Amino acid sequence: MDAVNIKDLVFSYDEQHDTIKGISFVIPKGSYTTIIGHNGSGKSTIAKLMIGLLEAKSGTIEILGQKLDESTVYSIRDHVGIVFQNPDNQFIGSTVADDIAFGLENHCVPQEKMQAIIEESAAKVNMINYLDSEPTKLSGGQKQRVAIAGILAIEPEIIIFDESTSMLDPQGKKSINEQIKKLHEKKNVTIISITHDMEEVAQSEHVIVLKDGKVAMSGKPMEIFDKEEALHEMKLDIPFALKFSKELKKEGIFDKNECTLEGVVEALCQLKQMN
Amino acid sequence: MSIKTNELTHIYNPGTPFEKLALNGITLNIPKGKVTAIIGQTGSGKSTFVQHLNALLVPTSGSVDIENYHIQPGTKIKDIKELRKKVGLVFQFPEYQLFEETIEKDIAFGPKNFGTSEEEAVALAKKVLPIVGLDDRYLQRSPFDLSGGQKRRVAIAGILVLEPNILVLDEPTAGLDPQGAQEMMTLFMDLNKKQGKTVLLVSHDMEHVKDYCDHVIVFDQGKVKIESSVKEFFQHPEWMENIGINPPAIIRLKKMLNEKGFCIPDDVLEMDTLVKIVKEQVKTYE
């Protein structure tokens, strides 16, 4: 069963210009997929369509084998969590703890278990000292962490991150990315991450590239990065590790490319030992 | 003229249960005509600090001197209204602040607010739009029909139209695609190099800080922890670790290589130099 199966999806905000112009893709259950594309390519629109916040003009969306429509949208949302780019519009509770509790209540988590879950998920995003704070009084990055804690608490089967680390400082981003990875590896949660961070793309298993409301490419990170020119045309870039790797290849040191820093270091160590 | 702050302290909601010391005695001298990066973890006081630079916030104690303005506790906004023209503050996600029906009106709003005639304000809007990389055809369009990156350009045009001498940019590239981010940085660099504007950049993107900035100021828990030239700053990976900053990719790569027995000097900050050094070190035993 696939986590997401989208067929011939078309969507328009204004009935005149289609923002999503016939998109089809499959995201396997338990995979870590990144969706990339230039600003305005339709990434966030797709995310909103996947949780039924927007309604498609035509085409179908299946989530965990269930066709998304008016009658299934609420049961599907029980399984899909989303963290948006701008956390300001996502708060309901008057304190951080209340806000995390709200989601748990909606998922019928028994009262006696809640406190432990709230504390655990707040600790994961480094906000344990802010449980009694008012969400509106927090900084942009702190708000984003709370929104992420809210989702971590529920542990849905699919989590969509819509550029949700964009307001975080690098350390915060790193620790959130580690949390995402852990969820994916330990709990087999399907991760769909909309991102501009090519280092994150290199770490993912599957990449979907959107361009002007269509799927331009999809595949493993290295398959995508191989088409560097096409990426540049789409206003995208390749990660530093791959740029460095390509320089080493030009110099005749590497015979194949690596797209992560870990990969580059490992390959260099082998060369050093061989010589 | 540079920006000077003296023992600048800001306490939010003093005397209430929400009291919070956000800035704790900041004394700084930010040079004119340079690009200065302000970095630090979320909640370190960066945003509070920059809001003092055009008196959106007034110090609880201490003072700020910018251009010919002196801001101290009790300073009234009407006495320093013109300061807001001199210091252009671009917030995080400025596109959320667009509100007019057309882009022309949105950009013209600022000058009109400072007493420029309708006609002149519209002319200024027309003049500034190409600077942010959008052409005339956009003037009559609604800002809400644009993509995120384009909206941000319009919002920045709305600040540039006031011709500020100092530009304060809070995370100006957050959420932009890589090319959009690069174009935005090129725009700011042009404004600095060609028009001599002083640029303050609040950024989490260490690649941008390394590639574009002259100076770095690090905030930590409401205090200035480090003040340094960019070149010096990136030769001290341990400083970055101490303040929870993820260094640029090249510096992380150097560290990983050095841990595996390579020997790469601290002052290597460019890719081509690193390629040369690595090449020598893997071939040493041939």
Residue pLDDT, tens place only, A165-184: 777 777 777 777 888 888 88
Count interface pairs A-B at CB distance under 8 A. 134
Q: What is the CA radius of gyration of chain B?
A: 21
Report the C-alpha gap between B37 and B208 in whole angstroms: 9
* Binary contact (A141, B47; C-beta < 8 A): no
Distance from CA of B286 to the nearest CA of A (A): 5
Residues in chain B closer than 8 A to A168 (CB atoms): 42, 204
ipTM above 0.90, yes or no: no
- Minimal-distance CA residue of chain A relative to B179: A235
* Binary contact (A170, B206; C-beta < 8 A): yes
Query: Which residue from B35, B234, B171 is spatially nearest to A169, judged by alpha carbons?
Result: B171
Report the C-alpha gap between A208 and A228 in whole angstroms: 15
Burial classification of residue A129, based on how many CB atoms lie within 10 Å of its CB (0-12 exposed, 13-18 middle, 19 or more buried) = exposed
Q: Which residue has the tokens 């209430």?
A: B16
The pLDDT profile of chain A, 275 residues, written as one tens digit per residue, is 899 999 999 999 888 889 999 999 999 999 999 999 988 899 989 999 999 999 999 999 999 999 999 999 999 998 999 988 777 766 778 899 998 998 888 888 898 999 999 999 999 888 999 999 888 878 777 888 888 899 989 889 999 999 887 777 777 777 778 888 888 888 889 999 999 889 889 999 999 999 999 999 999 999 999 999 999 999 899 999 999 999 999 999 999 999 999 999 999 999 888 76
Report the C-alpha gap between A67 and A48 in whole angstroms: 15
CB proximity B206 to A under 8 Å:
yes
Who among B47, B148, B260 is closest to A265 (CB)?
B260
What are the residue boundaries of the structural domains of chain B, listed by start? Answer: 3-247
In 10 A of CB B270, how many CB atoms? 11
CATH number, domain B3-247? 3.40.50.300
Who among B256, B278, B283 is closest to A261 (CB)?
B256
Report the C-alpha gap between B38 and B173 in whole angstroms: 14
Which DSSP letter does residue B135 get?
Answer: -
Q: Which residue has the tokens 């804690």?
A: A149
Residues in chain A closer than 8 A to B262 (CB atoms): 268, 272
Residues in chain A closer than 8 A to B155 (CB atoms): none
Provide the strand spans (E) within A93-144.
none
* Binary contact (B174, A166; C-beta < 8 A): yes
Which DSSP letter does residue B31 get?
Answer: P
- Minimal-distance CA residue of chain B relative to A263: B253
Q: Return the H-helix or E-strand segment holding B73.
A: none
**Paired tokens of A74:** 């609420």
CA distances from A34 to A195, A203, A222 (A): 7, 9, 13
Whether this prediction's pTM lies above 0.90 is answered by no
- Minimal-distance CA residue of chain B relative to A174: B246
Given a contact cutoff of 8 angstroms between Cβ atoms, the answer to whether A231 and A237 are in contact is yes
Report the C-alpha gap between B144 and B77 in whole angstroms: 31
First vs last C-alpha separation in chain B: 58
Q: pLDDT value at position A89? A: 67
**Paired tokens of A229:** 């020119």
Mutation target for B interface from A15, A39, A274: give the one with most B CBs within 10 A.
A39
Who among B42, B177, B282 is closest to A268 (CB)?
B282
* Binary contact (A173, B204; C-beta < 8 A): yes
Query: Which residue from B231, B180, B194, B236 is spatially nearest to B209, judged by alpha carbons?
Result: B231
Q: Distance from CA of residue B199 to its chain's centroid?
A: 7
Report the C-alpha gap between B241 and A42 in whole angstroms: 37
Domains of chain A, first to last: 2-235 (3.40.50.300), 239-275 (no CATH)
CA distances from A273 to B252, B261, B277, B286 (A): 22, 11, 17, 11
Residues in chain B closer than 8 A to A251 (CB atoms): 275, 279
Given a contact cutoff of 8 angstroms between Cβ atoms, the answer to whether A45 and A19 are in contact is yes
* Residue numbers of B between 53 and 92 with CB closer than 8 Å to A: 92
Report the interhelical angle of B249-259 vs B271-283 (nearest 10°): 20
Mutation target for A interface from B278, B283, B284, B286: give the one with most A CBs within 10 A.
B278
* Binary contact (B275, A247; C-beta < 8 A): yes
Residues in chain B closer than 8 A to A239 (CB atoms): 249
Distance from CA of B117 to the nearest CA of A (A): 35
Q: What is the CA radius of gyration of chain A?
A: 20
Angle in degrees, CA B25, B28, B29, rounded to 5: 160
* Binary contact (B178, A236; C-beta < 8 A): yes
Instruction: Give tens-digit pLDDT for B24-74.
Output: 999 999 999 999 999 988 788 998 999 999 899 999 999 999 988 999 999
Phi, psi of B61 (to 5 degrees): -150, 165
Mutation target for B interface from A235, A258, A262: give the one with most B CBs within 10 A.
A235
Report the C-alpha gap between B224 and B71 in whole angstroms: 20
- If you count DSSP H runs as helices and E runs as strands, how many of each does chain A have, helices first? 11, 10
Residues in chain B closer than 8 A to A43 (CB atoms): none
Report the C-alpha gap between A109 and B218 in whole angstroms: 43
Longest dimension (CA), chain A: 65
**Paired tokens of B67:** 């251009």
Report the C-alpha gap between A50 and A4 in whole angstroms: 8
Residues in chain A closer than 8 A to B47 (CB atoms): 139-140
Who among B43, B181, B260 is closest to A139 (CB)?
B43
Query: Which residue from A227, A84, A52, A75 is spatially nearest to A160, judged by alpha carbons?
Result: A84
* Binary contact (A37, B204; C-beta < 8 A): no
Residue A118 amino acid letter:
I
Report the C-alpha gap between A148 and B89 in whole angstroms: 29
Let me know how long chain B is. Answer: 286
- Residue A26 forms beta bridges with which residues? A5
Query: Which residue from A164, A205, A162, A171 is spatially nearest to A185, judged by alpha carbons?
Result: A205
- For CA atoms B108, B114, B119, B124, the dihedral sign is negative
CA dihedral A46, A50, A54, A60 (to 10 degrees): 100
Q: Distance from CA of residue A16 to its chain's centroid?
A: 29
CB proximity B147 to A under 8 Å:
yes
Distance from CA of A218 to the nearest CA of B (A): 18
- Residue B201 forms beta bridges with which residues? B37, B169
Q: Are strands B223-229 and B215-220 parallel, antiparallel or unpaired?
A: antiparallel
The pLDDT profile of chain B, 286 residues, written as one tens digit per residue, is 689 999 999 999 999 888 899 999 999 999 999 999 999 887 889 989 999 998 999 999 999 999 889 999 999 888 888 898 899 999 887 887 888 999 999 999 999 999 999 999 999 999 999 998 888 899 999 998 887 778 888 999 999 999 999 999 998 988 788 888 888 899 999 999 999 999 999 988 899 999 999 999 999 999 999 999 999 999 988 888 777 778 899 999 999 999 999 999 988 999 999 999 999 998 765 4
**Paired tokens of B257:** 């290589």
Residues in chain A closer than 8 A to B148 (CB atoms): 39-40
* Binary contact (B147, A40; C-beta < 8 A): yes
- For CA atoms A126, A129, A131, A136, the dihedral sign is negative
